[in-house]
Amino acid sequence: MAGWVSRLMIYDLEEAEASPVLETGMEIAAPNWTPDGSALIVNGEGSLFWVDLDEPDLLEIDTGLCINLNNDHGVSPDGDTLFFTDHTYGGPAKIWRQNIGDDSDPVQVTRKEPSWFHGISPDGHMICYAAVREGLFGIYTARADGSHENCVIEGAHHYDGPDFSHCGQWIWFNSDRSGTSEIWRVRTDGSGLERMTEDAEVNWFPHPAPDGEKVVYMAYSEGIVGHPAGMHVDLRLWTSKDRKPETLVSLYGGQGTFNSPCWSPDGMAFAYVEYAE
């Protein structure tokens, strides 16, 4: 590849096909859909960008002194608050929140570190995130202001990619607790742990749809360790009807393709990023 090429894409379930939103020489990643359906938010080069779907372009979002953001971010259900993970001040990752549409500065959410933001409950009251506490990876929740941190599940294995179900009662995540990375879900109180995939692929970043019937996730080939970039991956759809994942699209991507919540508000499309080889 002569230069970096990122393509911001939308997959439409009714049409069963993907369409490009924009193409850029910047390495962008992890699109979120805004609650009103009008725009996507992506990150790139340590910043966040607003992409209006009517006139697609990368419009940088001012995040104040936070200038080293990674691809873990999302928007509250009411569209008023942006959550993100930042590494600006050195040391481990921290979660921040910022009002959308005014000049207010970001506010640190998590006091313990490292913490990587991943999802917001449908009522906007809680966030879920991956974290390391006393050497153990785990899935955590807290109130939207960062108070009342609660460990949902942790252990000696890797836990990542948590996202709330449409009802807010379950958290979907990926973990290699069974040997290879599979998709799991657990109730927010830590009960009802259930393995949702069981195959040879390496499965990451489950995102439940707003209708409660579907989950889209990313599958690496057998034997891949972690969630590297620059890999051939499949985006797969799990449905509650038959619980048998279906491959929707194969692409060159991986890390950055859709780390964060990516569904449209009506649950009929999702956004992702692919890269040119």
What is residue 103's predicted lDDT score, i.e. its pLDDT? 83
DSSP run (H or E) holding 223: none
Over residues 192-208, mean pLDDT: 97
DSSP 8-state assignment for residue 263: B
| Cα–Cα distance measured from residue 208 to residue 237, given in angstroms and rounded to the nearest whole number | 10
The percent helix, strand, coil of the chain (3-state, each to 5) is 0, 50, 50
pLDDT bin (cut points 50, 70, 90) of residue 1 is: very low
77-103 confidence digits (pLDDT tens): 999 999 999 998 877 999 999 999 888
Contact 122, 35 (CB under 8 A): no
29-44 confidence digits (pLDDT tens): 999 999 999 999 999 9
Please give the full DSSP string across 53-89, using - where no structure is assigned.
SSS---EEE--TT---EEEEEEE-TTS-EEEEEE-TT
Q: Edge-to-edge strands of the sheet including 194-195?
A: 159-164, 170-175, 182-187, 194-195
What is residue 101's predicted lDDT score, i.e. its pLDDT? 84
pLDDT bin (cut points 50, 70, 90) of residue 167 is: very high
Contacts 24+ apart (CB under 8 A), 190-197: 190/151, 190/152, 190/153, 193/153, 196/172, 196/238, 196/243, 197/238, 197/245
Least confident of 82-96, 186-200, 205-219: 82-96
The CATH code belonging to domain 6-275 is 2.120.10.30
Over residues 143-154, mean pLDDT: 98
CA distances from 63 to 73, 149, 240, 266 (A): 12, 24, 38, 28
Contact 248, 209 (CB under 8 A): no
Least confident of 1-5, 70-74, 144-148: 1-5
Give the tokens for residue 262: 């990516």
Question: What whole-number percentage of the chain has pLDDT above 70?
Answer: 99
- Residue 208, Cβ density class (10 Å: 0-12 exposed, 13-18 middle, ≥19 buried): buried
Q: Edge-to-edge strands of the sheet including 150-155?
A: 115-120, 126-133, 136-143, 150-155
φ/ψ of residue 124, rounded to 5: 75, 5
| Cα–Cα distance measured from residue 117 to residue 127, given in angstroms and rounded to the nearest whole number | 8
What does the mean pLDDT of the chain come to? 96
Ranges of each domain in the chain: 6-275
Pairing of strands 107-108, 115-120: unpaired
| Cα–Cα distance measured from residue 66 to residue 47, given in angstroms and rounded to the nearest whole number | 8
DSSP run (H or E) holding 260: none
pLDDT at 277 > cutoff 60: yes
Q: Which residues are bridge partners to 163 per DSSP?
A: 172
230-269 confidence digits (pLDDT tens): 999 999 999 998 888 999 999 999 999 999 999 999 999 9
Contact 134, 115 (CB under 8 A): no
First to last CA, the chain: 6
Contact 185, 171 (CB under 8 A): yes
| Block residue for tokens 């009517």 | 54
